[in-house]
Structure 1
Amino acid sequence: MRRLALLLTILTFPAPADELPVTGVVMSSSGLMQVDRGATLPADASATFHVPVEAVDDVLKSLLVRDPAGTVEGVRLPARDLAAEAFRGLPLKPDDFENRAALLNALRGQVVEAGGTTGRIGEAAETEKGLRLALITPAGVTSVLLGDGAEARLQDAALATRVARAAEALATARGEDGRLIEVLLRGTSPREVAVTTVLPAPVWKPSWRLVVPSSGSPSQARLQGWAVVENLSGADWDRVRLTLVSGEAASLHQPLYEPIRVPRQELPLRVAEGVRVEADTGPRPVPPPPAAEPMSRSRAYEAARAAPAPVAQAAAPALAAASAGRIAFTLPSPVSMRAGMTANLPFLDVELPAERVWWIQDLVARHPLQAVRITNASAGTLPDGIVTVFGAENAEAGAWLGDAEMRALPSGQPRLLAFGRDRDVLVTSSRHEAQRAVAASFRPGQVALKTLQTEELALAIDPRGARGPLLIDLPRREGARPLFPVQSEGDYGLRHRAALDGTPVTLRLAFEREAEQLVTIWDAGLGDPLLLSWRSIEVQPTLRRLPGGPGTLESLRAALDGMPPDAPGRDPLARLTESMAQARTLLDAFTAQWRAYATAEAALNRARAAAEDRSGAAKEEARRALNRASLEVEQAGTRADNAWEAWQRAVQGVLASTPR
């Protein structure tokens, strides 16, 4: 495209000072990054540096200046919407800078001097010979042909300055995603100036390499920590001091860079209300009303190979400094990274006490997990991270065994890291529940049995010759106490430790809780059993509610059979059970007599009906049968009465054997 030099009023700006270099970076696990900058500045020089646009809010919030011999006068930076502010009030818009004809056409009416002619811009158009510019002069319209390198100069110096700033703002907005921050300083001599800012940044990501010993007695594991770091600060790092902080600091954001306008209530102008009149069109016929319508959700491999070379030594260890709720690892050597680069840097290399164990989390799993139990012997908390586990000895030497997750590990505390499943060790589980009475107490018409309910988990384990510790995690049972040794408690529940000696074994892990069982001797709703008449009740459905009735004796016998000999209340319970057994025998005898009575009564009813239906000699025979049936009912009733009274005497024994 042909170029046109649109000469505007030339503004001379001082060349910006070199950016304040980065001297130190502190990367936090909270998603923020502290950037320290510093240099020796001459008197009255400003401190400048670039930051990404999205970081300006945090810069304005956190900027800290250290100037021992100067004064801070403020901070300057371009507006948030730089182009919009630059074009405000201009007869231009950003699209007008696409070509020279569009720019001149947008400036129609402005006075320019071009090709020796001065006039107002009428129209501009590209032709094969160049740009043809129509100028309106006092004498009329003049056409000027401008070739490459020709000049057009705006006569309005103020407008020229604003157009120049708009062009500069447009170039800045299109070419940069950052803003230049200028800290205005006033000083009388050169001095060391430092600026600290806190910017949003990707969290640094720790990962771990753990070289574990083979199974057997406790030993040492080697833990190496590496940190993935991204430099998205917008500035190059040249031999900066890098610190990695792990903690949970509160992080807040506020839109300080965004222009905020408070909405206001708009008050309408009060004007005279217009008068509106609908013209009268005269009367019309009224139509009749319409009719109403109805509503209507890898196994770790082991490689047997030649022993590899020892693990390389990491760089000098980072300097770890712990404080309340945080730990900072300062790398021993300066770090250099260009803006936009990613690095993986070692920051820790320690020996930790370690022990290979089997670990059962899933109580129905067929094989246990392979795990290592490490203890943080360092001075500070080790942050969360993924752990890659390698073997150190024998067939595992140098082999990748699996991956694990390590949660934040405070100093002195242990962690279990599971990295695979051992398919050589077999586990089978089963559950059993039982209940037994351990004491008895007595209430009117009831026996209160204190019971112990046991829930047992049995784990049959065949280690196939392997030896070592086994850790088992079990969930807590509300209100129950474990009958096995508990090594520790945590979010995982209760942890039990056992030792496998190479031979099959069954581990029994039981919980026990106390409960109360009430056994009703008789139903108080029937009243006093000694005053109860069998003739006034429905016998069959009432039997279970009577002393000695079905169910009660069986419950007492079951409780007595499982109760320890020295259990409280056992002897009274034994006497009561014996009395209840006698009552049961007599109640069964009464039941038999009652059934005989019911049979006789049914026969009597049939005989009565027959006597009424017969006549003559047959009627006389029917009357004799009726008399016999009446006598049988009377005798059966007497036998039932006697059996009931015998049962009531047995009930007196039950009452006598029940403690008050």
Structure 2
Amino acid sequence: MRRALLLAACLALPAPSPGAEELPVRAVTLSNAGLAEILRGGRLEPEAGISFRVPFEDVDDVLRTLVLRDPSGTVEGLRLPAQDLETEAFRGLPLRPADFENRVSLLRALRGQPVEAGGSSGRLTDAEEAEAGLRITLLTPGGLRLLVLREGEEVRLADPALAARLARAAEALAAARSAEERLLEISLRAPAAREVSLATVTGAPLWKPSWRLLLPEAAGEARLQGWAVVENRSGTDWNGVRLSLVSGNPAAYRQALYTPIRVERPELPVRAAEQVRVTADTGPRPAPPPPLPAPAAAAAPMLRSFRADAEAAPAPVAALPAARVASTAGRVAFTLPSPVSVRQGETANLPFLDAALPAERVWWVQDLQARNPLNAVRLRNASGHTLPDGLAAVFDAGGAYLGDAELRAVSPEEQRLLAFARDRDVLLSSSSSRRDRPVRAELRRGAILVLTAIQREETALAVDPRGGRGRLVVDLPRRPGATPQFSVAAEGDFGLRHEAMLEGAPVTLRFAWERELRQEVPILDSGLGDPMLLRWRDLDVEANLRRLPGGSDGLERLRALLEALPADAPGRGAVEALAAGLGEARRRLDAASAAIRQAATAEAALGRARAAAEDRTGAEREEARRRLNAASLAAERTGTAADAAWEAWQRQVAELLGRTG
């Protein structure tokens, strides 16, 4: 059988360090942070080192986290192939990886190199397959020599440095055939044999808790069984290892330690003499023509659980072996009681917990707008350690599947609600209302009423349990600045939690929040200016009648507030006095308004009489003057009355302002 003829130097591939041993995996710790701590250990002889294979994607983590425990040895170093070992190994060589395909292509890639073959030496010029064997051509001092090599004969390179580099290239080519892992070697020196261990922390698939929750009929003990789904992607079989499952929240990072990183540097140009450039003179040219007018711009384009009734009571659920639990701050580890074997690439589902927890089945309302409440169970973690996150399949006491529930991490003695279905037999409906109730009033300078009111927001929840009895848990949102007027069993991310017992009959639960509000209510309209400086002759009194002190706007607002204010409310007496004063101002303002209207009528009559007197002659002129005198007297009398009525109103307003000053 014809075999590929490799160079003797290439056949002597460098082996791993003498005496290097691959220590077996003794323990594995899996974390829910996506990490795996692999502990290897064994007995090493004085001159022995350690070698082990690592998946390519885990090399960075191994370089970052490897911890070696050796009671008497000294670490001389760790080595592993380059990340791109094939490229690095062939850099500067006269051949490429493809040249190792067969002996002819390998030898032809070495043409021109001095070699020794068949008792002759010279430079290799060609190689080809022949019937008798491999025929090569050598260039010797005396000319070309043709040689036919048979199986087992060697072609030896005369350059030992090139032979060594080819050997390393062949080694790299063999290692590259398994590009998904790397061989790490640790050199140690010790005076005697001893027990050595090394630990590494690498990325790994999450171990995933899988819970089974068996509920009591109403209240009692629920049985919680925990199974862990684990996957071995470490690159090494786990044979009888101690397996620990950790739940915590560590900070975990990655860093590219295995990847060659080149720092970019600014490149400076080679300095040369500055070139002298001269623009040739081409002579004068005609002046350029004026620009054409710009074209007009174009218009823009328009643009109840499913239950299989059991015929007989199911057999009890099988017990699970208890894991050894160790808890520290923020971390809990479950160490399985028996050694575990999981081959590389396998997935296993391993039991780690079997606990009885106090439980109560409840109805749970998270959304007040929902038509039905959730079926849920309240669990208390009496296991003595934290239960990690996971999904629980929920079953009733008869073994019927009820639904799935999300279990978030539960500290010892904490209580959690787990909802697993919606109860369509219980009906809900809700409504909301809001009202303000004044409780106190205070008058301030400038006839400003400061009103303190209690705002009450209420949500009513009607519940029809249709004969069902049990506990109803209602979660309500917080309302900033408001105080709940109902009992609060707990507070958390869910808001405020209220609990009530249902006795089978429809019931309405009311949830009220109250907050104190303060509002400034101006009784007088300051938009017209100081009322003591107003002159009725400069103001359209009829148009501004509602805005003037005593006008209907302020008085009606004050009377409405007074009706809502309780009889024993602080400040009510002052508000009543202010309302009485405004009532008197209203009466006087009405009187002044009537007097002003009469004065306006008299002024209009005086104007007509004056015009008539100017247009008459003779006897008619005398009559017109008599009427003019009468109209003038009437205008003076009604104007004086209007002035008196306006001043009486202003005195009442001044008294009101003094009372509120």
TM-score range, shorter chain: 0.7 to 0.9
Residue deviations 1:398-434 (CA, integer Å, cap 9, x gap): 2222222222211121112222222222222211111
* Structure 1 residue 364 corresponds to structure 2 residue 366: no
Q: How many angstroms apart in 2 are the aligned matches of 1:286 and 1:5?
A: 80
Distance 1:515 1:625, change over 3 A: farther
- Give 3-state SS (helix, strand or coil) of 1:547's partner: coil
1:442 alignment partner in structure 2: 443
Partner of 1:236: 237
SS at match of 1:539: coil
Q: Where does residue 35 of structure 1 map in the other structure?
A: 38
Q: Which residue of 2 aligns with 1:211?
A: 214
The alpha carbon displacement at 1:554 in A equals 2.8
Q: Which moved more, 1:575-584 or 1:261-270?
A: 261-270
Counterpart for residue 504 of structure 1:
506
Select 2:491's aligned residue among 478, 489, 492: 489
| Preserved contact between residue 4 and residue 149 of structure 1 (Cα < 8 Å) | no
Alignment of 1:60-209 (within 5 A): 60-114=63-117, 118-125=121-128, 133-144=136-147, 151-209=154-212
Structure 1 window deviating more from structure 2 (195-204 vs 521-530): it is: 521-530
Q: Summarize the Cα distance change of 1:330–1:101 in structure 2 as closer, same or farther, 3 Å threshold.
A: same
Q: TM-score, normalised by structure 2?
A: 0.87
Residue 317 of structure 1 aligns to a residue whose secondary structure is coil
Query: Which secondary structure does the structure 1 equivalent of 2:170 belong to?
Result: helix
Aligned residues of 2:29 and 2:244 also touching (Cα < 8 A): yes
The Cα of 1:21 is off from its aligned counterpart by 0.5
| 1:259 paired residue number | 260
Task: Please give the alpha-carbon distance, in whole angstroms, between the structure 1 residues aligned to 2:604 and 2:489.
Answer: 73
- 1:338 corresponds in structure 2 to 343
Relative to structure 1, the CA distance from residue 535 to residue 366 in structure 2 (aligned partners, 3 Å threshold; closer, same or farther) is: farther
Q: Deviations over 1:599-619 (max 9, x none)?
A: 676677678778889999999
Other-structure match for 1:536? 538
- Report the residue type matching 2:468 in the other structure: A
- Residue-by-residue CA offset, 1:116-167 (whole Å, 9 max, x unaligned): 6544222345679876544333343345566777754433333223212211
Greater shift, 630-639 or 541-550, is seen at 630-639
Q: Which moved more, 1:500-509 or 1:541-550?
A: 541-550
CA contact (8 A) 1:7 1:153 kept: yes
Secondary structure of 1:233's counterpart equals coil
For 1:239 and 1:622, locate their aligned partners in 2 and report how far apart those are by CA, in whole Å. 134
Q: Distance in 2 between matches of 1:495 and 1:584?
A: 54
Whether the 8 Å contact between 2:27 and 2:38 is mirrored in structure 1 is: yes
Task: Mark the CA change 1:448 to 1:276 in structure 2 (over 3 Å): closer, same or farther.
Answer: closer
Structure 2 unaligned runs (5+)? Answer: 296-303
Match of 1:388 in 2: 393
Q: Which amino acid is the alignment partner of residue 492 of structure 2?
A: G
Separation of aligned partners in 2, 1:449 and 1:2: 109
Q: Does the 8 A contact of 1:8 with 1:157 survive in 2? A: no
CA–CA distance in 1 between the matches of 2:205 and 2:145?
62
CA distance in 2, matches of 1:459, 1:355: 23
Secondary structure of 2:589 counterpart:
helix
8 Å CA contact 1:46, 1:183 repeated in 2: yes
Q: Which amino acid aligns with 1:338?
A: R
- Distance in 2, Cα, partners of 1:344 & 1:93: 47
Q: Deviations over 1:56-92 (max 9, x none)?
A: 2222222222222333222222222221222122112
1:437-475 per-position Cα deviation (integer Å, ceiling 9, x unaligned): 111111122121111111111112222222222222222
Mark the CA change 1:154 to 1:247 in structure 2 (over 3 Å): closer, same or farther: same
Deviation at 1:514, TM superposition (A): 1.0
Partner residue of 2:548 out of 532, 546, 561: 546
User: Which is further off, 148-157 or 308-317?
Assistant: 148-157
Greater displacement, 635-644 / 160-169: 635-644
Equivalent in the alignment of 1:353: 358
Q: Secondary structure at the match of 2:544?
A: helix
Q: For structure 1, which runs of at least 5 residues remain unmatched after alignment?
A: none
Contact 1:458–1:507 (8 Å) recurs in 2: yes
Contact 1:300 1:419 in 2 (8 A): no
**For the Cα contact (< 8 Å) 2:4–2:102, is it kept in 1?**
no
Q: Contact 2:451–2:518 (CA<8 Å) still a contact in 1?
A: yes
Task: Give the drift of 1:323.
Answer: 0.8
Report the counterpart of residue 410 of structure 2 in structure 1. 409
Deviations, residues 299-323 of structure 1 (Å, cap 9, x unaligned): 8534443455245234311111111
Which residue identity is paired with 2:3? R
User: How far apart, CA to CA, are the structure 1 residues paired with 2:18 and 2:529?
Assistant: 110
Matches within 5 A, 1:9-48: 9=9, 10=12, 13=15, 17-48=20-51
Query: 1:337 offset after TM fit, Å?
Result: 0.6
Mapped partners of 2:632, 2:117: distance in 1? 146
Q: How far, CA to CA, are the matches of 1:592 and 1:403 in structure 2?
A: 82
2:299 aligns with: none
Report the CA distance between 1:476 and its aligned residue.
Answer: 1.7
In 2, Cα distance between equivalents of 1:147 and 1:527:
124
Q: From the superposition, tell whether residues 545 and 308 of structure 1 become closer, same or farther in structure 2 (CA, over 3 Å).
A: same
SS at match of 1:322: strand
Q: Distance in 1 between matches of 2:126 and 2:542?
A: 117
Is the contact made by 1:436 and 1:559 (CA closer than 8 Å) also made in structure 2? Answer: no
Residue 6 of structure 1 corresponds to 6
Give the TM-score normalised by the residue count of structure 1.
0.87
Q: For residues 648 and 305 of structure 1, do their structure 2 counterparts lie closer, same or farther at Cα, with a shift above 3 Å needed?
A: farther
C-alpha distance in 2 between matches for 1:332 and 1:39: 22
Letter in 1 for 2:283: R
Please tell me whether the aligned partners of residues 468 and 502 of structure 2 are also in contact (alpha carbons under 8 angstroms): yes
DSSP 3-state at the match of 1:584: helix
2:443 touches 2:574 (CA, 8 Å); kept in 1?
no
When the two chains are superposed, the root-mean-square deviation of aligned CA atoms in Å is: 3.5
Residue identity in the other structure for 1:273? A
Aligned-partner Cα distance in 1 for 2:140–2:203 = 58
Classify the secondary structure of the residue corresponding to 2:6.
Answer: strand
Greater shift, 47-56 or 527-536, is seen at: 527-536
For 1:544 and 1:114, locate their aligned partners in 2 and report how far apart those are by CA, in whole Å.
125
Local SS of the residue matching 1:167: helix
Instruction: Determine the structure 1 residue equivalent to 2:460.
Output: 458
Which secondary structure does the structure 2 equivalent of 1:252 belong to? coil
Deviates further, 111-120 or 324-333: 111-120
Kindly tell me: are residues 199 and 311 of structure 1, through their superposed partners in 2, closer, same or farther at Cα, counting changes over 3 Å? Answer: farther
Note if contact 2:13-2:170 (Cα within 8 Å) is conserved in structure 1. no
The separation in 2 between residues aligned to 1:650 and 1:104, in whole angstroms, is: 124
Q: Report whether the alignment pairs 1:220 with 2:221.
A: yes
Question: Does the C-alpha gap of structure 1 residues 250 and 583 become closer, same or farther in structure 2, counting only changes over 3 Å?
Answer: same
- The answer to which of 235-244 and 586-595 deviates more is 586-595
